[in-house]
Amino acid sequence: MPRAIPISTSVTDNKDHTYALVLMGGGARTAYQAGVLRALGSMLSLAGGLWPDQQTFPFKILVGTSAGALNAAYLASHAIKGLNAFGLLANFWAELRSDQVYHLDVPRWIRSSRIAAALFLSQHVRRQQAFLNNTPLVDTLHRAISLPDIEQALHDKTLHALAVAASSYTSGVHWTFCQTALGKPLTNWSRPGRRTEFQHITIEHLMASSALPFIFPSTPLWVDEHREYFGDGSMRQSSPLSPAIHLGASRVLVIGVGQPERAGLAGAADNSGNRPTLGAIAGHAMASVFQDTLQADVEQAQRMSKTLNQLPREIAAMLPYKPVEVMSISPSRSLDAMAQQHVGELHPATYNALSGLGALGSKASPGGAALASYLLFEPGFVKDLIALGERDAYARKSELLTFFGFGSDAAANGAMHF
């Protein structure tokens, strides 16, 4: 697991840095991020009284992709509540249900035949242009996220920027949409295959960013004065840390929900040596979409910062680059295996469809439940994800507090046990 580059432990060190939070995508799996952040909020509030106050939100820049964009926007709309925003995010996830995100009408007999399931779902996809209908998510986001409160947080400088990533099916370009305080100079950046545009973030941007490929329908957005259709921001995301750095971050905390070595993946073909199921292959493809670029980008940023910190000051000052401290947190357990324990919580229609595709896994092959893990917006799985996020954060408590400029005494005072 990537480690943060060593930094000063001065308590006042955090005042000299701009902190960014980068939240990666992963459907229901991103409930894990709420657990990490709730633990972080507790650590900062108990750090020996060193944190300025409960109303101080620690991140000035929020960057989100896919379901991570929903988390980022939720935090932006509650940033004026300070550290309490993290607990509110965890509560939002704890109350979420699959029928508040999507719905699917599938006859019960579908689960009896994979061929019948494939034919039925292929016809459904041709009609709907997607596996699931995610219109319930629109209402959920309107109730949970206050767009005026995001604008207020930017206006009063609680936040500097909110950025949301989405991938254009129309042009193939990966776009980052950024909202900053009114009146602040805006400078677009453009790289091969990826561009940015400064717009007010809307529910449509969040729907576009979180439109899982094949699972949810595309969403139209306006860019360069014309309409393009967008899908999940994790697709073609070659540099997930780039928006935070361009927006001025000097320290970046990134929370992913992928796993480079997924437990049970090798068992996607079961112990009898059979070919992997369609669901297992889809899960593997989804894992590649949501994970592959993050680790490489984090490691590259850390190597670059380490090199810059080792250069003589007069030489470093002449370069167009500045060191950026990066800390990455990701699940310590297989989320595929966790999902396999909770597949029975799925709505019957979704359960029947995934069962027909062989996408519910088994104890011998938990990798087969990977696809289900992106759709399990249900209490049991969400609760376990939040708890895992909290445990993983507390396992790295000392490192997190050091990242925020607190020394070992604060780490001791902020200790909590599970």
| pLDDT value for 193 | 86
pLDDT over 60 at 49, yes or no: no
Give me the number of domains the chain comprises: 1
Q: What is the mean pLDDT of residues 279-305?
A: 64
What is the residue-averaged pLDDT of the chain? 80
Q: Where are the alpha helices (DSSP H) in 79-133?
A: 84-95, 114-128
Which residues are within 8 A (CB) of 48 and not within 5 positions of it... i.e. 6 or more apart? 406, 409, 410, 413, 414
DSSP helix/strand/coil, 27: helix
CATH at residue 297:
3.40.1090.10
Give CA–CA dist 325/322, Å, rounded. Answer: 10
DSSP strands (E only) in 50-117: 61-65
Q: What is the mean pLDDT of residues 372-378?
A: 90
Model pLDDT for residues 69-80, shown as the tens digit of each residue: 999 999 999 999
Of the candidates 19, 24, 44, the residue with the CA atom closest to the CA atom of residue 254: 24
Assigned domain for 8 exists: no
Assigned domain for 3 exists: no
Assigned domain for 253 exists: yes
> Which of the listed ranges 104-113, 213-222, 255-264 does the model predict with the highest average pLDDT?
213-222
User: 225: domain range?
Assistant: 19-110+131-259+290-336+378-404
Assigned domain for 197 exists: yes
| pLDDT value for 385 | 98
| pLDDT value for 263 | 44
Assigned domain for 218 exists: yes
Residue 266 in tokens: 């090798």
Of the candidates 100, 101, 21, 3, the residue with the CA atom closest to the CA atom of residue 68: 21
Assigned domain for 279 exists: no
- Amino acid identity of 375? L
CA dihedral in degrees (123, 285, 64, 141; nearest 10)?
Answer: 30
> Which of the listed ranges 116-130, 217-231, 381-395, 397-411 does the model predict with the highest average pLDDT?
381-395
pTM: 0.83
Assigned domain for 124 exists: no
- Amino acid identity of 28? A
Give CA–CA dist 417/248, Å, rounded. Answer: 35
Residue 412 in tokens: 């001791």
pLDDT over 50 at 280, yes or no: yes
Of the candidates 91, 39, 33, the residue with the CA atom closest to the CA atom of residue 418: 39
Other C-beta atoms closer than 10 Å to the C-beta of 94 total: 13
Instruction: Assess contact for 100 and 345: CB atoms under 8 A.
Output: no
| pLDDT value for 126 | 63
User: Is 270 tagged catalytic?
Assistant: no
**Which has the minimum average pLDDT: 164-173, 196-205, 257-266?**
257-266
User: Is 66 tagged catalytic?
Assistant: yes
Other C-beta atoms closer than 10 Å to the C-beta of 177 total: 26
Model confidence band, residue 410 (pLDDT cutoffs 50, 70, 90): very low
Assigned domain for 234 exists: yes
| pLDDT value for 373 | 86
Among candidate residues 66, 77, 210, 305, the one labeled active-site is 66
Residue 211 C-alpha from the chain's centroid:
13
Residue 273 in tokens: 């040596």
Of residues 302 and 237, more confidence is placed in 237
Among candidate residues 167, 218, 232, 392, the one labeled active-site is 232
Of residues 417 and 219, more confidence is placed in 219
Give CA–CA dist 378/214, Å, rounded. Answer: 21
| pLDDT value for 322 | 73
